[in-house]
Amino acid sequence: MRLTKYLITASAIAAVGALALTGCSSDGKSSASTGSTGSLTVAKPDGAAILATQINNPFITTGSGMSLGYDRMIYEPLAIVNPVGKNETTPWLASKVVWNADYTQLTVTPRSNVKWSDGKPFTADDIVFTYNLIKNTPALDLGGLKLTDIKKDGNNVVLNFSESKFVKQGDVLQVPIVPEHQWKSVADATKDPVTKAIGTGPYTIKSFSSQGVVLQARTDYWKGTVPVAQLKYLEYNDNTGLLRALQTGETDWAQIFITDYQKNYVDKDPKHNVFWGANVLSPDMILVNTAKAPFNDVALRKAVNMVVDRKAHATTARGNAGPELTNVSGIPQPTGDQYIASAYKDQTFKIDVDGAKKVLTDAGYTWKSGALTDPSGKPVSFTLQDPQGWNDYVTGIQLVATQLKTTLGIDAKVATPDADTWFANVASGNFDAALHWTGSGSNPWHIYDDVMNSSYLDQAADGKVSDNFGRYSNPDATALLKQYAQASDEATRTAALEKLQKIFVDDVPAIPIGTHPQLAEYNTRKFVGWPSEQDQYATADPTQPSAVQVLMNLKPAGK
């Protein structure tokens, strides 16, 4: 599966009251001190079209820089939020970030030893300019920051927001900072490709062509020696081609789904090849269109939820790339254990065909020649859809369709449109059911916001929504999501989250089916120091904000 939006916004930190985070020039993990050396090849399976046009603008998420991830090595954020491990925040271009008690104000202390790649100094003015650019250009406010004021206060920068940013800390902190002296001349920041990329990051662009992108390490980077002298970014036409490149060592670092990753990747060089699925708080769900039949009936949603085989999804569709989703709250474990309400701590999904049939019978459903019919006597039929080529997702909906036919007699069909059509269908409500990811952060708020927040329906333009694609409407859930997001104490957040879980379990706005780890593949032949299950200082996905943190933590193998 290939995502066109970044799953990890890492938007919340479990903290109470004012939060201050500081960092020196190191993130606590030393880099090589013997000089930049060697190279790494990073690749994606999105096809040659990505390299047809050079777009280094970090605010154009579909451009070459953000799609391949090389922009992450050029433009840097104030801080990097870790969605795994201890969920820590590492100050980056900021030496310190401090939130007020209700997370409506952020005070930033910029680092003083940073230079842009053209030699000019990085200053507080660049931070003010970047956030004002977002404030004054709604199309750039992808994280919904809702800034009200940005100003300098001595050596600091103070950002004010119209509402609490507790659940969107990552969206605020991980904005790519751009140089005012260049961008003040950019006429339209939503469209300009910015072919001359000037950043504070450890690399500059050496070459760009349809064959790939080459980045060269800077010798004046503010964090010191850059471990890897050169990065090469390539595009392959599909997962098969990229997998072959990973197997042969032609590519060193990637993020793709691999069927039977142990056999098809790790075992090709068990000493060096590593696959890691970082288990983040982002379950996959069957999004059901609650605005129309048959899923406008909670009885049917409950029944389907009771017969889905999550173990088969984990082993067959996902190839054991992540743990099975077991808790009825939909929260992945063990990452989210601390957030599961006491009422659901020990409640796990169990296939219960008899129980599902009773739920349906009690609601007036019957069976004719083995086929389920609704209370009006109409056969229950719907289509599950996901894009062709997204093998794990397509396998997932095929499994569900078969399970529903054999257990409940539902006429469940499968459709595989192209990705563009699918995205349009989901946004406009032109679907019955679809397997989809949910947002991720350092707490479960994004999970429930994605499937229960009816405010997205109020914001719909031309019938298209940006989230809550199942069009679930529940004023109580929406109010609780707002209460959680704007709370200034942990007790209020906990109470709201427990009530949200009850609504989710009782009303089944969507059907949780599996975990959605952040996948990555790399090898240790040339460099070590990668994040792993044993050292979760970041995820290993090369397209995420933490990619620069990972790169700076590497050391030459054998040294």
- The backbone torsions φ and ψ at residue 403, rounded to the nearest 5 degrees and listed phi first, read -60, -40
CA separation for the pair 547, 215 (Å, rounded): 14
| 139 and 208 part of one domain | yes
Provide the terminal-to-terminal Cα distance of the chain, rounded to the nearest Å: 37
DSSP string, 78-131: SEEE-SSTT--EEESSEEEEEE-TTSSEEEEEE-SS-B-TTSPBP-HHHHHHHH
> CA angle, corner 305, sides to 304 and 309, nearest 5?
95
| 361 and 224 part of one domain | no
pLDDT of residue 189: 97
C-beta of residue 88 within 8 angstroms of C-beta of residue 225: no
- The backbone torsions φ and ψ at residue 519, rounded to the nearest 5 degrees and listed phi first, read -85, 150
| 134 and 263 part of one domain | yes
Sign of CA dihedral 425, 426, 431, 436: positive
What CATH number did the domain enclosing 229 receive? 3.40.190.10
Task: State the pTM of this model.
Answer: 0.86
| 496 and 538 part of one domain | no
| 252 and 298 part of one domain | no
> CA angle, corner 204, sides to 199 and 208, nearest 5?
120
What CATH number did the domain enclosing 373 receive? 3.10.105.10
| 478 and 547 part of one domain | no
Segment (H or E) for 506: helix 490-507
| 259 and 395 part of one domain | no
Residue keyed to tokens 């050391």: 555
| 2 within a domain of the structure (yes/no) | no
Contacts with 529 (C-beta within 8 Å, 6 or more apart), sequence order: 29, 227, 553, 554, 555
C-beta of residue 493 within 8 angstroms of C-beta of residue 444: no
pLDDT of residue 85: 83
Range list of β-strands (E), 31-101: 37-44, 79-81, 89-91, 94-99
| Cis ω for the linkage preceding 334 (within 30 of 0) | yes
pLDDT of residue 16: 31
CA separation for the pair 301, 140 (Å, rounded): 37
**Residue 466, helix vs strand vs coil:** coil
**Residue 105, helix vs strand vs coil:** strand
| 13 within a domain of the structure (yes/no) | no
Residue 491, Cβ density class (10 Å: 0-12 exposed, 13-18 middle, ≥19 buried) = exposed
Span 301-337, pLDDT tens digits: 999 999 999 999 999 999 999 899 999 999 999 889 9
Closest C-alpha to 284, from 494, 519, 69:
519
- The backbone torsions φ and ψ at residue 95, rounded to the nearest 5 degrees and listed phi first, read -85, -20
CA separation for the pair 559, 557 (Å, rounded): 6
pLDDT of residue 425: 97
How many distinct structural domains can be found in the chain? 2
| 271 and 295 part of one domain | no
pLDDT of residue 5: 32
| 97 within a domain of the structure (yes/no) | yes
C-beta of residue 290 within 8 angstroms of C-beta of residue 465: no
Residue 377, Cβ density class (10 Å: 0-12 exposed, 13-18 middle, ≥19 buried) = exposed
CA separation for the pair 99, 17 (Å, rounded): 8
pLDDT of residue 24: 42
Beta bridge partners of 204: 216
C-alpha distances in Å from residue 151, one per residue of 106, 111, 310? 11, 17, 50
What is the 8-class DSSP label of residue 73?
G
CA separation for the pair 218, 225 (Å, rounded): 8
Q: The tokens of 535 are what?
A: 């050292």
| 160 and 268 part of one domain | yes
Span 172-182, pLDDT tens digits: 999 999 999 99
CA separation for the pair 400, 382 (Å, rounded): 12
| 10 within a domain of the structure (yes/no) | no
| 272 and 381 part of one domain | no
C-alpha distances in Å from residue 535, one per residue of 83, 531, 532? 13, 5, 5
| 239 and 130 part of one domain | yes
**Residue 106, helix vs strand vs coil:** strand
C-beta of residue 549 within 8 angstroms of C-beta of residue 30: no
C-alpha distances in Å from residue 241, one per residue of 30, 116, 238, 391? 35, 37, 6, 15
Give the length of the chain.
559
pLDDT of residue 208: 98
CA separation for the pair 215, 115 (Å, rounded): 18
Q: The tokens of 41 are what?
A: 């090849």
pLDDT of residue 20: 57
Q: Which domain holds residue 458?
A: 284-514
| 491 and 545 part of one domain | no
The residue ranges of the chain whose pLDDT is under 70 are 1-34, 559
| 14 within a domain of the structure (yes/no) | no
Contacts with 406 (C-beta within 8 Å, 6 or more apart), sequence order: none
